[in-house]
Amino acid sequence: MARDIPISRKALFSALAWIIGILIFFPIFWTILTSFKTELEAIASPPALFNFHWTLENYVEVQSRSNYFLHFANSVIISLGSTILGLIIAIPGAWAMAFVPGKRTNGTLMWMLSTKMLPPVGVLIPIYLIFRDTGLLDTRTGLVIVLTLINLPIIIWMLYTYFKEIPGEILEAARMDGASLKAEIIHVLTPMAVPGIASTLLLNVILAWNEAFWTLNLTAAKAAPLTAFIASYSSPEGLFYAKLSAASTMAIAPILILGWFSQKQLVRGLTFGAVK
């Protein structure tokens, strides 16, 4: 029997949720507003919230100074490519950890996740030298490979938790019906875990889209994504806040729109379970 939650407690939780949501979204909101200001209005004190001269000159200058659509295409290819490649590798790996009997699964998962604790700068020089010598420096292929390896532990960990919710008896029944290992993974396991796979894909696209350290150090111009596009507006002459805000808005707009339209799928995947 479900407990009745007092209306006052519901109101309190709703108010707290709104306050936290506003605090999280306000920097994005302020960045968007600043992108429509002039440089003088962007640094004015006290700052103006709405009563300023709205202008699109920052967006025009940002596009004329650098090719936004080239950086956007690079971000799409790198984020989707690294995520899809990661899923191709992670689905069989997570299946093995979830359904193949063994006592070292938890230890392996913890070891994989511990690689995320390593500061990226600790392996920057060897990876840079490998990329330079193999011709992968400043290429989309190189960034797809490195971002796949970086996010692979998270992809496997998430898929493992989703796969563990699927009853093993279903896979055993498929084996008894003569399903091969490939058919079991592709035609039985994967369709049942679509919500979990979709949420994993969305989260890792966001992670790859926002990755700045590797994209700034392993690219120059040809394969530079939107993170490098934003960084180009930090110069020795100083920060041009209005133009930097316009570049940031153009960079985050696609991922904000994706998150808005996929939020139901994301929540469904994060709460996914075959056994309710």
The domain segmentation of the chain, as residue ranges, is 58-270
d(CA 66, CA 71): 9
Q: Kindly state the tokens that stand for 219.
A: 């690219």
Joined tokens for residue 272 = 């996914």
Nearest to 82 by CA among 200, 238, 189, 231: 200
pLDDT, position 237:
54
**What's the gap between Cα 167 and its chain centre?**
29
pLDDT at 271: 62
Distance CA 171, CA 189 (A): 7
Q: Are 140 and 150 in contact (CB under 8 A)?
A: no
Q: Which of 71-85, 134-148, 165-179 has the lowest mean pLDDT?
A: 165-179
Cα separation, 5 vs 3, in Å, equals 6
- Euclidean distance between CA atoms 47 and 138, whole angstroms: 40
What is the model's pLDDT at position 32? 92
Say which residue, 119 or 270, is predicted with more confidence: 119
Which residue's entry shows tokens 């029944």? 173
Percent above pLDDT 70 for the chain: 89
The model carries a pTM of 0.82
Arithmetic mean of pLDDT, 85-101: 87
Q: What are the pLDDT digits (tens) for 211-244?
A: 989 998 998 888 889 888 888 776 655 568 888 8
Cis peptide before 46 (omega within 30 of 0): yes
Mean predicted confidence (pLDDT) in 15-43: 90
Of the candidates 90, 64, 70, which has an alpha carbon nearest to the alpha carbon of residue 243? 64
The CA distance from 219 to 132, in Å, is 11
Top-confidence residue, 50 or 28: 28
pLDDT in tens, 119-155: 888 889 999 999 999 999 999 999 999 999 999 988 9
User: DSSP secondary-structure letter at 189?
Assistant: I
Name the CATH architecture for the domain at 58-270. Answer: Orthogonal Bundle (1.10)
How confident is the model over 96-126, as pLDDT tens digits? 888 876 656 677 778 887 888 888 888 899 9
Classify each residue of 142-156 as buried b or exposed e, where b means 16 or more C-beta atoms within 10 Å of its C-beta.
bbbbbbbebbbbbbb
> Alpha helix locations (H) across the chain?
7-34, 39-42, 57-65, 68-99, 105-114, 124-134, 140-163, 168-176, 181-183, 190-192, 194-210, 213-218, 226-231, 241-261, 263-270
| Amino acid at position 38, single letter | T
Residues in the chain: 276
Structure tokens given for 185 = 């993974």
Residue 274's pLDDT band, with cuts at 50, 70 and 90, is very low
Answer whether residue 80 shows pLDDT above 90.
Answer: yes
